[in-house]
Amino acid sequence: MLNELRQVRGLVDLRVHQRFDYPKFDVAIDRTKAGQAGFTARDLASSLLVSLSGSFQTTPTFFLNWQNGVNYNLATQTPQYRIQSLHDIQNIPITSPSTTRPGILADVASITRASETAVLSHYDIRRVVDIYGAVQDRDLGAVGRDVARIVDANRPLLPRAASSPCAGSFRRCGRRTSGCSWGSDSRSSSPTC
């Protein structure tokens, strides 16, 4: 739909707000190996969190300086320059209250590169993909009619129970002026000006 919208005269700066290829790591725990070594999924998650984000996330610790009365946060964390590769993450030590000897993450879990949506947007309760744009050198009503035609033409391609509402200045202009309205008639979802 974005490519079709780019053909509309007067519609500029079109972009999809959400990134669908945000990098991430998936950690798959072999629960059998972890259990034999005395670790739970919670132990692995806590060890990763402490190493990568700091101990303040799981166990906040404070130091009170008696001389000036100031509380200081104390946190342990692996220095960022020590985590340079996937191999460094695999070598993160894992601990558990029930074990006396720490283990290595790579012994009980595998790590793979993946991607995910970086920003999840919602319209009411539904997840949405936002296409942002602006109008230039053409009136809002004419651009809105062209956009509505493209949106209506793409509705049959949507999965069942999905919708494609339009929002923004064109939709709001019906509230501010008497010249435009959007979807005011339940039988029609096209704009009228």
Class of domain 22-116: alpha beta
What confidence tens digit (pLDDT) does each residue in 108-143 have?
999 999 998 888 888 778 788 888 888 889 888 888
Give pLDDT, residue 103: 92
pLDDT tens readout for residues 37-72 = 999 999 999 889 888 888 887 788 899 999 999 999
Coil, helix or strand at residue 60: coil
pLDDT band per the 50, 70, 90 thresholds, residue 188: very low
Asked whether residue 179 carries a pLDDT value surpassing 60, the answer given is no
How far is CA 35 from its chain centroid? 32
Indicate where the chain has its CATH 3.30.2090.10 domain(s): 22-116
Confidence of residue 165 (pLDDT cuts 50, 70, 90): low
**Torsion sign over Cα 91, 92, 97, 100:** positive
Integer Cα distance of 154 and 16 in angstroms: 16
Query: Cα–Cα distance between 67 and 192 in angstroms, integer?
Result: 72
Burial of residue 75, with CB atoms counted within 10 A of its CB: 0-12 exposed, 13-18 middle, 19 or more buried = middle
Tokens 């809002």 sit at which residue?
A: 140
